[in-house]
Copies of this chain bind each other. A is one copy, B any other.
């Protein structure tokens, strides 16, 4: 009222955090996007007792009956030791069977059970809904270009690591 307007306080408080420098980096944006994506997908799969890794493994076993753990690990790009507990958890729930392969007694032949295939189908529906929700702001073209761009980047970096 009768006072002077408040003088700017002699603090160095930050009122708005600028992440301009970071926003320019694809890697940072990819991390942010992947984080919310993973959170939403985790929530989507929770009712089925599945996680991203177990869901992915289940699909691959359903689509490729008889594959070995090492093939599964390579396809999912995770280390064999880490595959063990993923397969453990699917087997424990009777979603897959894990039998010594007759063509190579070192290998485990993985196959989905009937229950495993049914659960996978149900989860697929939920995941489809999750993807639809996620891609709401993108038209068909934009979606295709996105997946293309991601594949190109994956190849660029995978090539670099190999060569």
Name A's B-contacting residues (CB within 8 A): 9, 11-14, 17-22, 25-41, 52, 56, 59-60, 62-68, 71-72, 74-75, 77, 101-104, 109, 111, 124, 127, 130-131, 133-138, 142-143, 145-147, 149-158, 160-161
Contacts and interface: CB of A to CB of B under 8 A. Distances in A.
Copies of this chain, how many? 2
A65 B12 contact: yes
A70 B70 CA distance: 43
Contact of A26 (B63, B71, B131, B154): B131
Given A17-B72, A26-B143, A149-B146, A157 B137 contact: no
A59 B27 contact: no
A36 B158 contact: yes
